[in-house]
Chain A
Amino acid sequence: MSEMTKPLLEMKSVSKEYNGNPVLKDVSFTLGQGEVLGLVGENGAGKSTLMNILFGMEVIQQTGGYGGQVLIDGKEVKFTSPLDALKAGIGMVHQEFSLLPGFTAAENILLNREPENKSVLSLVFGDRANTIDRKKLQKEAIEAITKLGVSLDPDMLVSEMPVGHKQFTEISREISKSAIRLLVLDEPTAVLTEKEAEMLLKAIENLSKQGISVIFITHRLQEILDVCDKVIVMRDGRIINELEAASTSINEMAKLMVGREVATSINPVEKDRKISDKVVLSVKHLWVDMPGETVKDVNLEVHEGEFLGIGGLAGQGKLGIPNGIMGLYPAGGTVTFSGNSIPLNNPRACLDSDLAFVSEDRRGVGLLLDESLEWNIAFPAMQIHGKFLKKYLGGLINWRDQGAIKEVTEKYIKQLQIKCTSSKQKAKELSGGNQQKICLAKSFALEPKLLFVSEPTRGIDIGAKALVLQALREYNRKYGVTIVMISSELEELRQCCDRIAIITDGAVSGILPASTPSEDFGILMVGKTKKEAK
């Protein structure tokens, strides 16, 4: 066997662009048999794109393929579908579970690969008339579970399992596939309790001993130190460094992850800015049940006129905060706004009390895509505050004031430099960046006292980003409106915010002034302080 000399997986200067935007640049690494490779990096660093290339996902071909080479056992491969990757012995466990709740662990592990009893009827009705060999199914499932080395009841229904067991089921399924040689785990511990995570790490060690290589993507750097042989740190589509896990530290990794040179396209925050001590919004023990962004226990105070940033890694719950406060997802806890407590789970009540929210889900919640810009900008203000309405007959009949609507729309188009043919254009005809600006304009038109802005720069290009941020900053500085901005991009937050709160595991792990070095934020993000405290 040549595996001793040739590495199991080798990537040679792999690169990838989406519509001219390079997302992966010259990525090269090797992975030997039985090795555990940690892959860390901020959101958008290119980890998922790299894995998509490895799996031959359709997205890659649809957007023009990739550059460079992927070699398995020293031979170049080009997978065109995930099935090819499976045949080559590569399995992946995704962040979202792909399990059937009404099936047992065993049934899920061998889903669509169930052992069958040959039956005569299959000659007439096809292979699917074969009955399933339950005993063998059980046996094979147990084999996979033992290989993984965890305790998992094969007869337990997935719907009744704790999250950790679901994760194990998912991994067992990959292992039960014959000829599995490389397993990719995408943030497997994100949803696990500490104990379950420990079990999983042990299982990874087990697999590595049996000669199965593992690529382990995680945000918990301690885990990398615990199980990995080496670590690859990615940032902006490049491999920043390849480290031996034995000789590195969390601090070093965190620094490498976030520590880029700050692009000073916008002036950094004025140092001498005075923020009033008056608390305008106070959040106590907030929990929000937003799928994938669960908030567990957030305590937060926002001062009047402040520009507060909320950062953190994806899935830790930062998006859940505004969505919960604005009543879009089931939530609990107490929220007080300028002295009045706000009823949760009631969007209208929030809007009535001069709160506004620019959603991260532009197309879903934010915009009326088939309507004109005027309508988009004026509609909420009209609906909620009765602006732009002419009153006749003592208020019995309300007439839209078309003139005022046009005027205000044109004002915002000018102010935010929205590229459009006229204020009558339909929202869906605009580019992503301009749509985002419409969302902002809409909220500005409400003239709120406090504005939540969620991921304002997601999916828009760099030029538009700067404009959007600029507009937000001005709005805050000039009109004294309190803004809470949620963003996954730390640099963005550091550019405009006064203070930045980092959310980890559904709770605030720390609030620091924006001028704090980014390494400190990086450490907060990976939740190290919490671990140390314990």
Chain B
Amino acid sequence: MNKKMNRKFDTKDFIANNIVPIIFVVLCIVCYPIAGYSPEYLIDQIITRLVRNSFLVLSLLIPIMAGMGLNFGMTLGAMAGQIGIVFITAWNIVGIPGLLLAAIIATPIAIILGWFCGKMLNMAKGREMITSYMISFFMNGVYQLVVLYGMGPVIPLHSDQVILPRGYGVRNTIDLINVRRSIDNFLQFNIGPVRIPLLTIILIALLCVVIIWFRKTKLGQDMRAVGQDMEVAREAGIKVERTRILSIVISTVFAAYGMIIYLSNMGTLNTYNSHSQIGMFSIAALLVGGASVSRASIKNVFLGIVLFHLMFILTPQAGKNLIGQAQIGEFFRVFVSYGVITLSLVLYEIRTRREKAESAKVLANAQEAKA
């Protein structure tokens, strides 16, 4: 009986391990003819969104490597990035220098927030994800306090573009006309109707290289070790706590840069909620790419973003063509993101348990063979 199962096991296993990407691929294939978009349009859209989001999603890789799961705390990095953007908009610094300055301002904020988050997560080992999720909610409150009441009286910013007319607090929406697409437009060229923002692509490629290089460093090796077994790593003399904090700090800083790229591409900043869903969508995108709580690669990032966004471009139109309602796409976006995250978390648990049961099975097989 067991032998028969073994034969089937491979395909079953493949589907079980890649259930999320497979669902998305199927959905996209179904929606594509219904939506009726031209391939050029789709490619252009996908490239735009790939460029917009990949830096954010890439920032999630390092904590996964360190065994800390999905870093919902990347929201903190997004906040830091937004604060940088608010400053440069208020100071009226434009173009690429503006974005660079925003990154410089965001870095120390992201480091401090990341360090704080890492400290907290060290106190809640084994429950990193829920803790980081809650920290992001908590810090959202602090962020709102700073932005809504601190900017103006405490942090001197005087700009009609940014500050509410009452004299303090940042406007709900800030037009980023000054930095809009400034990275993308630099060195941009077209292939037919498809726009290729070369500089952004170079930046993202650079980050990929950094991540690959990082895996080869001592710190990267330590993180992988810590991610597998904290106790063994500690026995070998690796500073486990510090390594874990560093992984969160690095992720937060990259998330801040990612947010800056994202906002400059979008062109508007929703001061009070741009960041709050960015973590959710980034994580969902990564999971759609076939990553799990414990394993993720650069490949997952790009595949995830492509599938996730293909879905969101196709479904509204498909919905409209099918039942005359475009809102179904918007509905899908939120519904699917949460669904994907839940599914992945559940699958991860099931897989871990199954692996544990495997050893018992081996023993049983040995037993049967003997008997």
Contacts and interface: CB of A to CB of B under 8 A. Distances in A.
Contact of B232 (A100, A285, A294): A100
A116 B218 contact: yes
A205 interface: no
Contact of A285 (B213, B216, B360, B367): B367
A287 to B, nearest CB: 5
Given A330-B357, A330-B360, A103 B236 contact: no
Nearest to A294: B363
B222 A289 contact: no
B154 interface: no
B238 interface: yes
Given A98-B235, A102-B228, A132 B360 contact: no
Contacts of B236: 98, 111-112
B171 interface: no
A330 B357 CA distance: 8
A287 B363 contact: yes
Given A98-B232, A99-B232, A296-B367, A129 B217 contact: yes
Contacts of B219: 128-129
A289 B359 contact: yes
A333 B224 contact: no
Nearest to B295: A102
Nearest to B235: A98
Interface residues of B, number: 27
A128 B225 CA distance: 14
B218 A132 contact: yes
A332 B364 contact: yes
Interface residues of A, number: 28
A498 interface: no
A438 B153 CA distance: 66
B362 to A, nearest CB: 9
A333 B367 CA distance: 9
A112 B359 CA distance: 29
Nearest to A94: B235
A112 B240 CA distance: 12
B367 A332 contact: yes
B293 to A, nearest CB: 15
B4 interface: no
A285 B371 CA distance: 8
A126 to B, nearest CB: 8
A285 B363 CA distance: 12
Contacts of A116: 218
B229 A100 contact: yes
B218 A130 contact: yes
B233 interface: yes
A114 interface: yes
Contacts of A330: 357, 360
A354 interface: no
A76 interface: no
A439 B225 CA distance: 41
Nearest to B357: A330
B221 interface: yes
B54 to A, nearest CB: 24
B218 A128 contact: yes
Most chain B Cβ neighbours within 10 Å, of A83, A132, A285: A132
Contacts of B237: 83, 112
Interface string A493-514: 0000000000000000000000
A296 B228 CA distance: 29
Interface string A95-135: 00011111100010001101010000000000111111010
A494 B366 CA distance: 34
A100 B233 contact: yes
Contacts of B360: 289, 330
Interface in A284-303: 285, 287, 289, 294, 296-297
Interface string A444-471: 0000000000000000000000000000
B216 A132 contact: yes
Interface in B348-371: 357, 359-360, 363-364, 366-367, 370-371
Contact of A132 (B221, B238, B367, B370): B221
Contact of A297 (B213, B231, B367): B367
Given A297-B370, A330-B360, A103 B217 contact: no
Contacts of B216: 131-132, 134
B225 A100 contact: yes
A102 to B, nearest CB: 5
Contacts of A294: 363
A161 to B, nearest CB: 14
Contacts of A99: 232
Given A98-B235, A102-B228, A103-B228, A132 B363 contact: no
Contacts of A333: 367
A378 to B, nearest CB: 34
Given A103-B225, A112-B225, 18 more contacts: A83-B237, A98-B231, A98-B235, A100-B232, A101-B229, A112-B222, A112-B233, A112-B236, A112-B238, A114-B218, A116-B218, A128-B218, A131-B217, A287-B364, A289-B363, A294-B363, A296-B363, A332-B364
Interface of B: 213, 216-219, 221-222, 224-225, 228-229, 231-233, 235-238, 357, 359-360, 363-364, 366-367, 370-371
- 4 residue pairs, one from A and one from B, having the closest CB atoms: A128-B219, A289-B360, A330-B360, A112-B236
Interface of A: 83, 98-103, 107, 111-112, 114, 116, 127-132, 134, 285, 287, 289, 294, 296-297, 330, 332-333
5 contacts: A103-B228, A111-B238, A128-B218, A129-B218, A134-B216
